[in-house]
C-alpha cells in the first residue's frame, strides 16, 4: 500500500490558480518556534516574502513567537523590519504553569508581550494534551481557572486568541484496519492519543467551550475549523458563542471531502472564517509545507469548482486516502475569508 499511487482517470476540469483572487492574510503560520529563552527561525523572512509576492499574500501571521526576549527578536526581524507583511503572536509560558503565582505572572507576561508588539496569543494543543502538573503529572484542563487572568488580559488588550484544541477523532481510536488515518498514524505513531489518560475529543472541545463562554469579551479563533470533521457541532458552537471564529488551516482535506456541507458552512459563517494554512518548514507533513504548491491548492479549493483533486502536494494523500472538491466561493465571501475577517480580528486596516 505504501507504494500504491493510483492516478484518477476522471476527465474533469483542472484549474491552475497561481495567485489568490484577492490579497490575503495567512492567519496561521510558523516562521519561528519558541525554544529555551528565545525563538528559532525555521523559515527565512526573505524567502517568505518571495513566495508571498508570487502568491498574492499580503501578510503572514507568525503565531509561534514565544514570549520575552524571544518574542522581541521575532517582532524585530519580522513585524518591525517588514511593516504590514508580518504579524507576530505571543505564547503562554507553559514551563511556569505549575509555579506559585502563575496566574498573575502569565497575565503580566501578556501585558509585556503587548508592549513588545505582539498582536495576538497562540495556544498550541499542548493545553489539554501535553501540559501536566509538575508534582502529580496530571493533565492540566483547558478550562483550569489559573488561565482566567490570561484570557481576560488578551481580551482587554484586543488580542485575539488562536487556539488549537484536540486533533482528528481517529487519533483517539486504535490504529487498526478501521482507522481512516492508518497511514498517517503509522508515519507518526506519537500522534496517537489512544489508550492513555487523555480526555476524549468531545471533552476537550467542551472544555475549550467553557473558556469561550466564560470570557465573552475575548475573541477565540479555533484553529483547524475547531473540529473539522464535525461541522454540525462547530455550527452549534458558533451559533451559541459570537466571540468564536475558526481558521481552515491544514483541514481542506476535511472540508473538501464534504464540499456541499462546507459550502453551506462558508455561506452561513462567512464573517467568522479566516484563511490559514499552518505553513511550516520541513517536508514530513506535506499538507502544511510552506511554498507555492501549498497555496495553489488552497486557492483551487476555495475559488474553483474542480472535483476530486489532491489536498496536499504529495504523491500519496498524507492525512488519508481521499481527494477533495472545490467550493467555488463568491467574490464577496472570498474577500472576507482571505482578508477582511482576519484584519478586523488583528486590528489592522483591510
Ligand atoms: Zn499550527
Question: Over the stretch 239-251, which tens digit does the pLDDT of each residue have?
Answer: 999 999 999 999 9
Cα 303 to ligand 1 centre (Å): 23
Whether the full predicted model's pTM is greater than 0.85, yes or no, is: yes
| Gap between the Cα atoms of 295 and 181, Å rounded | 23
- Cell numbers representing residue 264 in the block: 453551506
CA of 281 to the centre of ligand 1 (A): 12
Backbone angles phi, psi at 176, to 5 degrees: -135, -170
Q: What does the pLDDT look like over 22-37, one tens digit per residue?
A: 999 999 999 999 887 7
Strands 32-35 and 38-41 come out as: antiparallel
Q: How far is the CA of 138 from the centre of ligand 1 (A)?
A: 25
What band does 350 get if pLDDT is binned at 50, 70 and 90?
low
Nearest alpha carbon to residue 245 among 150, 346, 146, 324: 346
Distance 30 CA to ligand 1 centre (A): 7
Please tell me the distance from the alpha carbon of residue 265 to that of residue 98, in angstroms, as a whole number: 40
The DSSP result for 265-324, as a single string, is HHHHTTTSEE----BBSSSSSGGGB-SHHHHHHHHHHHH----SB-SSSSSS-SS-S--B
- Residue 224's Cβ-count burial label (10 Å; 0-12, 13-18, 19+) is buried
Ligand 1 centroid – CA 243 distance (Å): 21
Q: In whole numbers, what is the pLDDT of the chain averaged over residues? A: 97
C-alpha cell at 199: 480526555
Q: What is the mean pLDDT of residues 289-308?
A: 98
Question: pLDDT of 167-205, one tens digit each?
Answer: 999 999 999 999 999 999 998 999 999 999 999 999 999
- The dihedral built from the CA positions of residue 24, 247, 121 and 72, taken in this order, carries a sign that is negative
Write the CB contacts of 322 (distance below 8 Å, at least 6 apart in sequence): 253, 257
Q: What is the pLDDT of residues 38-73, one digit of tens each?
A: 999 999 999 999 999 999 999 999 999 999 999 999
pLDDT at res. 216: 98
CA of 343 from ligand 1 middle (Å) equals 19
Distance (Å, whole) CA 18 – CA 111: 40
Contact 265, 235 (CB under 8 A): yes
Q: Could you tell me the three cell numbers for 60? A: 503572514
292 Cα–ligand 1 center, Å: 18
- Of the candidates 154, 160, 124, the one whose C-alpha atom is nearest the C-alpha of residue 348 is 160
State the distance from the centre of ligand 1 to the C-alpha of 123, rounded, in angstroms. Answer: 9
Cβ-based burial of 348 (10 A; exposed 0-12, middle 13-18, buried ≥19):
middle
7 CA distance to ligand 1 middle (Å): 30
pLDDT at 1 over 90: no
The whole-angstrom separation of Cα 222 and Cα 203 is: 15
Distance of CA 8 from the midpoint of ligand 1 (Å): 31
Task: Give the count of beta carbons closer than 10 Å to the beta carbon of residue 195.
Answer: 10
pLDDT at 211: 98
| CA 250 – ligand 1 centroid, Å | 8
Strand, helix or coil for residue 236: helix
Q: How remote is the CA of residue 278 from the centroid of ligand 1, in Å?
A: 4
Tell me what the mean pLDDT of segment 164-169 comes to: 97
Amino acid at each position: 500500500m505504501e507504494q500504491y499511487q493510483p492516478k484518477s482517470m476522471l476527465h474533469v476540469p483542472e484549474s491552475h490558480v497561481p495567485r489568490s483572487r484577492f490579497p490575503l492574510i495567512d492567519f496561521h503560520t510558523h516562521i519561528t518556534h519558541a525554544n529555551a529563552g528565545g525563538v528559532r527561525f525555521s523559515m527565512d523572512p526573505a524567502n517568505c516574502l518571495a513566495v508571498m509576492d508570487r502568491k498574492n499574500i499580503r501578510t503572514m501571521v507568525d503565531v509561534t513567537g514565544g514570549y520575552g526576549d524571544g518574542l522581541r527578536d521575532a517582532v524585530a526581524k519580522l513585524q518591525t523590519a517588514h511593516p504590514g507583511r508580518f504579524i507576530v503572536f505571543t505564547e503562554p509560558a507553559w514551563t511556569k504553569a505549575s509555579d506559585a503565582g502563575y496566574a498573575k505572572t502569565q497575565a503580566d507576561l501578556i501585558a509585556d508581550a503587548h508592549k513588545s508588539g505582539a498582536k495576538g496569543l497562540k495556544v498550541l494543543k499542548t493545553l489539554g494534551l501535553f501540559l501536566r502538573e509538575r508534582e502529580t503529572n496530571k493533565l492540566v484542563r483547558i478550562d483550569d481557572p489559573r488561565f482566567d487572568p490570561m484570557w481576560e488580559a488578551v481580551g482587554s488588550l484586543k488580542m485575539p486568541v488562536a487556539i488549537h484544541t484536540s486533533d482528528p477523532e481517529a487519533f483517539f481510536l486504535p490504529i487498526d484496519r478501521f482507522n481512516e488515518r492508518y497511514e498517517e498514524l503509522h508515519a507518526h505513531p506519537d500522534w496517537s492519543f489512544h489508550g492513555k489518560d487523555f480526555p476524549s475529543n468531545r471533552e476537550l472541545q467542551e472544555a475549550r467551550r467553557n473558556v469561550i463562554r466564560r470570557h465573552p469579551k475575548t475573541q477565540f479563533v479555533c484553529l483547524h475549523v475547531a473540529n473539522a470533521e464535525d461541522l454540525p457541532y462547530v455550527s452549534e458552537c458558533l451559533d451559541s458563542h459570537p466571540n468564536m471564529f475558526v481558521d481552515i488551516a491544514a483541514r481542506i482535506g476535511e472540508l473538501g471531502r464534504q464540499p456541499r456541507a462546507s459550502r453551506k458552512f462558508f455561506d452561513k459563517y462567512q464573517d467568522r472564517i479566516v484563511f490559514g494554512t499552518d505553513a511550516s518548514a520541513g517536508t514530513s507533513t506535506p499538507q502544511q509545507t510552506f511554498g507555492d504548491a501549498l497555496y495553489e491548492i488552497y486557492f483551487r479549493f476555495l475559488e474553483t469548482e474542480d472535483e476530486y483533486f489532491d489536498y496536499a502536494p504529495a504523491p500519496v494523500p498524507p492525512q488519508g486516502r481521499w481527494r477533495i472538491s472545490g467550493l467555488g466561493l463568491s467574490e464577496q465571501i472570498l474577500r472576507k475569508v482571505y482578508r477582511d475577517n482576519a484584519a478586523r480580528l488583528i486590528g489592522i486596516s483591510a
